[in-house]
Chain A
Amino acid sequence: MITLNNQSTNAKRGLTASLAGKLAIAALLVAAQPAFAEDQKAVPKQLAGVGSLKIDNLSVAKAPPVDAKRFYVIDPGHFNMTSQTYVMGANDNKLQLYGLIDGGKLPHVMSSAKFVGMANTTYDRIAHGKRDDYVRLHDPQTLEAVADIDIPEIRFLTGLMERTTSLSVDDKHMLIQQFSPTSGVGLVDLEAKKYVKTIPVPDCYHIFPAAKQNFFMHCRDGSLLQVSYDNQGNAKQKNTKVFHAENEYLHNNPYYSNSSGRLVWPTYEGKIFQAKLTDSGAEFLKPIEIFSDKEKKDKWGPGGWQPIAYHKERNEIYLLADQRAKWTHKLPSRFVVVADGTTGKRLRRIDLKHAIDSIAVTQDKNPTLIAASIEHKIIYTFDALGGKQLASMDEMGKAPQIIVTMDK
């Protein structure tokens, strides 16, 4: 009974407390009513400002229109299953990061004023299962995909090589190298948004497009293969002369301009082979020895992953170089030597003061030299004429490896 009495007392106390609480809530609501009634259209007045700030308007950002300072840095993450492409700018002597584009394994990224082209490979079970190759075009400002084109599983998967996939010079086609089971070049019609066919080619590599639906490839024997194709992928092929010796090993990432047809290609030792490629054929220029005999004796040589750039209007070759032991042709370098593209005359040497793997140059009148350090994951920019470092940006993924600039 005592217990019951106590329970009864506690129940009464609970009822009293509950009643008092409800009355308090009702009083608060009544008091607050005028404030809500005052402006019920938008945000409550007492929330319309935080200190001196106004309420934020939320949006999704848009990159500025493409200009000559736009560039892309591709980070494949050391053969990772997914990759990231940094969409960047080098305006006002600074570095801008406009956004990122996702990619699959070892993607190819191609720049155009109209879109960012990407060729991708993914698997449906992380790193195995069904393989899927596809092409995507992204709007260069919103970075959203504006086309998604399925292609056969043909992509040649290597450490990133800029020119094993390419846009045609009119941006109407994408050309994708196939290595296995046979050599070929996949033709993708970007306007019709469809894969056309894979054109069989001999043992040749890289794709250098020329006008009127032509492209060139470099063949094992040291010649170039010229391929002319129609919209159905029917092709005619012919070889040029052999332009370099078997023991003159060419770096994997040459410079090539779709708009000018200029090919600039260094050997492991620093000899520069050049050609102008048109639908009429290949005009080979006189090779340049970019290092003097004394420099060669002092072990100067090119080295890096993307070791060469070229400024079209200034006709200047930029070669990533350092003093180095033999067979270190892909290890980073600390200098860029600049030479005239016709005579080979040394114009200047830029001390980067960092170990750099890849370089590129913007094509405007005040060119920016862009440099990537894979190990340190940093992008640097330099005044390409004066050599002064302008800006840097760190935390650039796992392995920023290739820089793609605007060609036109």
Chain B
Amino acid sequence: MKENKRFDSTIEKLARTTANYTGRRSFIGKVGMLLAGSALLPLLPVDRRARLGLGEAQAASVNSMTRERGWVPQDKDPQSCDYWRHCSIDGQICDCNGGSLTSCPPGSSLSPSSWVASCFNPGDGQTYLIAYRDCCGKQTATRCGCFNTHGELPVYRPEFNNDIVWCFGAENDDMTYHCTISPVVGKAS
């Protein structure tokens, strides 16, 4: 029995250590590498569908996220907070501030790090993986501020958290938030 306890203790310690030291860092590292090589982007090692039931991902409308209605995406206006790619944006849409859905405004720095979300596109009925990237090195942009939290997880699950200033690795270490772009990096299925 004594040996079994020691064995259990060792395994437990090993499991905890592995869980604590390999989670976020390796994930962020992998995300960074994958984003650098666009061909590999759809292979991000995240189980994206686990958190979103198919049923809740099917709704399609043109209204913004509210407490009563929740997230109801549309696929017509990318400068509106309820555009489907913005399902987990907490910040300003770059498309309204001199950038686009996939490019930062002039003079800002594109961060290589990102957080991810699974967003349902009502246009084709598919769910896609969005790897949000912050544009950095300038004051917070002023237009199209959105606060969407569909599928957003707490800070201890940082890869799904939109409260963090995701400017790690931006040029000149510009850890200041300007706005966010919403590139598709793969299908979430």
Please give, as numbers and ranges, the residues of chain A lying within 8 Å of B154 by CB-CB distance.
249-252
- Judged by a CB distance under 8 angstroms, whether A105 is at the interface is yes
**Complex alpha-carbon distance, A29 and B185, angstroms:** 86
- Judged by a CB distance under 8 angstroms, whether A147 is at the interface is no
**Complex alpha-carbon distance, A328 and B90, angstroms:** 13
* Chain A proximity of B170: nearest CB distance (Å): 9
B156 and A218 within 8 A (CB): yes
- Judged by a CB distance under 8 angstroms, whether B39 is at the interface is no
Please give, as numbers and ranges, the residues of chain B lying within 8 Å of A190 by CB-CB distance.
none
Chain B stretch 3-48: residues in CB contact (< 8 A) with chain A: 16-17, 19-21, 23-25
In the complex, per-residue mask of B131-168: 1 if CB is within 8 Å of any chain A CB, else 0: 00000011110000101011111111110000111001
- Judged by a CB distance under 8 angstroms, whether B66 is at the interface is yes
Please give, as numbers and ranges, the residues of chain B lying within 8 Å of A249 by CB-CB distance.
153-154, 157
Chain A stretch 28-56: residues in CB contact (< 8 A) with chain B: none
- Judged by a CB distance under 8 angstroms, whether B177 is at the interface is yes
- Judged by a CB distance under 8 angstroms, whether B81 is at the interface is no
Please give, as numbers and ranges, the residues of chain A lying within 8 Å of B16 by CB-CB distance.
221, 223, 239
**Complex alpha-carbon distance, A180 and B164, angstroms:** 11
A325 and B139 within 8 A (CB): no
- Judged by a CB distance under 8 angstroms, whether B114 is at the interface is no
A123 and B147 within 8 A (CB): no
- Judged by a CB distance under 8 angstroms, whether B127 is at the interface is no
- Judged by a CB distance under 8 angstroms, whether A22 is at the interface is no
Question: Given that A180-B168, A203-B24, A331-B147 are contacting pairs, would A158 and B163 also be in contact in the complex, using a CB cutoff of 8 Å?
Answer: yes
Please give, as numbers and ranges, the residues of chain A lying within 8 Å of B147 by CB-CB distance.
330-331
**Complex alpha-carbon distance, A158 and B167, angstroms:** 11
**Prevailing SS type, chain B contact patch:** loop
- Judged by a CB distance under 8 angstroms, whether A106 is at the interface is yes
* Chain B proximity of A52: nearest CB distance (Å): 49
A252 and B155 within 8 A (CB): yes
**Prevailing SS type, chain A contact patch:** loop
B149 and A158 within 8 A (CB): no
Please give, as numbers and ranges, the residues of chain A lying within 8 Å of B163 by CB-CB distance.
158-159, 161, 252
**Complex alpha-carbon distance, A157 and B129, angstroms:** 25
In the complex, per-residue mask of A160-193: 1 if CB is within 8 Å of any chain B CB, else 0: 0100100000000000000110100000000000
- Judged by a CB distance under 8 angstroms, whether B67 is at the interface is yes
Categorize the interface residue count of chain A.
35 or more
A158 and B23 within 8 A (CB): no
The residue of chain A having its C-beta at the shortest distance from the C-beta of B149 within the complex is A330
Q: Which residue of the partner chain, among A80, A220, A329, contacts B19 with CB atoms under 8 Å?
A: A220
In the complex, per-residue mask of B46-86: 1 if CB is within 8 Å of any chain A CB, else 0: 00000000001000000001111111000000000000000
A332 and B140 within 8 A (CB): no
- Judged by a CB distance under 8 angstroms, whether A98 is at the interface is no
- Judged by a CB distance under 8 angstroms, whether A84 is at the interface is no
Please give, as numbers and ranges, the residues of chain A lying within 8 Å of B121 by CB-CB distance.
none
Chain A stretch 203-218: residues in CB contact (< 8 A) with chain B: 203-206, 218
- Judged by a CB distance under 8 angstroms, whether B112 is at the interface is no
**Complex alpha-carbon distance, A221 and B14, angstroms:** 13
Question: Given that A219-B156, A250-B156, A252-B154 are contacting pairs, would A329 and B21 also be in contact in the complex, using a CB cutoff of 8 Å?
Answer: no
- Judged by a CB distance under 8 angstroms, whether A326 is at the interface is yes
A127 and B138 within 8 A (CB): yes
A327 and B71 within 8 A (CB): yes
Question: Given that A223-B16, A327-B149, A328-B67 are contacting pairs, would A79 and B175 also be in contact in the complex, using a CB cutoff of 8 Å?
Answer: no
A329 and B20 within 8 A (CB): no
A80 and B149 within 8 A (CB): no
A325 and B69 within 8 A (CB): yes
B149 and A123 within 8 A (CB): no
**Complex alpha-carbon distance, A127 and B157, angstroms:** 27
Please give, as numbers and ranges, the residues of chain B lying within 8 Å of A220 by CB-CB distance.
19-20, 23-24, 156-157
B165 and A158 within 8 A (CB): yes
Question: Given that A81-B139, A127-B176, A128-B172 are contacting pairs, would A106 and B20 also be in contact in the complex, using a CB cutoff of 8 Å?
Answer: no
Please give, as numbers and ranges, the residues of chain A lying within 8 Å of B24 by CB-CB distance.
203, 220
* Chain A proximity of B33: nearest CB distance (Å): 16
B149 and A331 within 8 A (CB): yes
In the complex, per-residue mask of A94-112: 1 if CB is within 8 Å of any chain B CB, else 0: 0000000000011000000
A325 and B176 within 8 A (CB): no
Question: Given that A131-B173, A159-B163 are contacting pairs, would A205 and B155 also be in contact in the complex, using a CB cutoff of 8 Å?
Answer: yes
**Complex alpha-carbon distance, A364 and B110, angstroms:** 49
- Judged by a CB distance under 8 angstroms, whether B105 is at the interface is no
- The 9 tightest CB contacts between A and B, nearest first, are A325-B70, A202-B20, A159-B163, A157-B165, A221-B19, A127-B176, A128-B137, A331-B67, A205-B156
Pairs A–B under 8 Å by Cβ, sample size 13: A81-B176, A105-B176, A123-B176, A129-B172, A156-B164, A159-B163, A202-B21, A206-B156, A225-B20, A251-B154, A326-B56, A326-B70, A329-B152
Interface residues of B (CB under 8 A from A): 16-17, 19-21, 23-25, 56, 65-71, 90-91, 109, 137-140, 145, 147, 149-158, 163-165, 168, 172-178
